[in-house]
Chains A and B, each alone.
Chain A
Amino acid sequence: EDQVTQSPEALRLQEGESSSLNCSYTVSGLRGLFWYRQDPGKGPEFLFTLYSAGEEKEKERLKATLTKKESFLHITAPKPEDSATYLCAVRQGGSEKLVFGKGMKLTVNP
């Protein structure tokens, strides 16, 4: 069965303190790994899609990378407005489903 595990479950950083969030997955025939951001009381907001090992994508202070078993969301010099829950999801070849991890709550203190 597909498994998506995010770690840590929660992370507190000081403003400017860079870190990485991990998403490990077990799926055959990966057809995409997706990162979303979710603010309290709102729907998930799409950030990135990665399709193959070695691929990287960047958006402002966020950079997502992909290996054959995991993805990292690197946050460089975070600001308080980066505080949110970050969700990882995978899509298996031949399936229309996205399998989501449980999310990682990031808090950035000023």
Chain B
Amino acid sequence: DADVTQTPRNRITKTGKRIMLECSQTKGHDRMYWYRQDPGLGLRLIYYSFDVKDINKGEISDGYSVSRQAQAKFSLSLESAIPNQTALYFCATSDFAGYEQYFGPGTRLTVT
């Protein structure tokens, strides 16, 4: 089984809808991250969490919120989706040292 899983893998939604992307991990890592990837822009950090009570904004957090429900679960929400949030979204984890990050398979989100 994969160490980092993401659901759904693909999602098409309409402008203004609320949507949640979920991430679960079995690596036992404390740190979890959400990134988005756009063609020509690379991976950009949205939010990251060191543990259940520690959540931090990344470089592009506007329009997004997160919830760390447990050590193994980290969800990303779009409260009111807009078309420029169409992208690939990746969850990643790392251990306490925070060096190597391990990525999930991604969610392809399309907002129409």
Q: Kindly state the separation between the CA atoms of A108 and B43 in the bound complex, as whole angstroms.
A: 24
A64 beta carbon closer than 8 Å to chain B: no
Contact B101 A98 (CB under 8 A): yes
A side interface size, CB within 8 A: 21
Q: Which of A32, A42, A45, A100 contacts B43 (CB 8 A)?
A: A100
Cross-chain contact B105 with A42 (CB below 8 angstroms): yes
Shortest C-beta distance, A6 to chain B (Å), equals 9
Knowing A49-B99, A49-B100, A91-B99, say if A101 contacts B42 (CB, 8 Å).
yes
Residue of A42, A96, A101 with most partner-chain B CB within 10 A: A96
A38 to chain B, nearest CB (A): 9
- Interface mask (B36-76 → A, CB under 8 Å = 1, otherwise 0): 00001111110010100000101100000000000000000
Q: Which residues of B contact A103 (CB under 8 A)?
A: 42
Please tell me if the beta carbons of A43 and B40 are within 8 angstroms of each other in the complex: no
CB pair A46 B101 closer than 8 Å: yes
The interface of chain A, by Cβ under 8 A from chain B, is 31-32, 34, 36, 41-46, 49, 87, 89, 91, 96-98, 100-103
Return 12 A-B CB contacts under 8 Å, by A number: A43-B4, A43-B105, A43-B106, A44-B90, A49-B100, A87-B42, A96-B31, A96-B48, A96-B50, A97-B48, A97-B58, A101-B42
Question: Sorted from nearest, which 8 A-B pairs have the closest CB atoms?
Answer: A43-B103, A100-B43, A102-B42, A100-B42, A44-B103, A43-B106, A43-B105, A46-B100
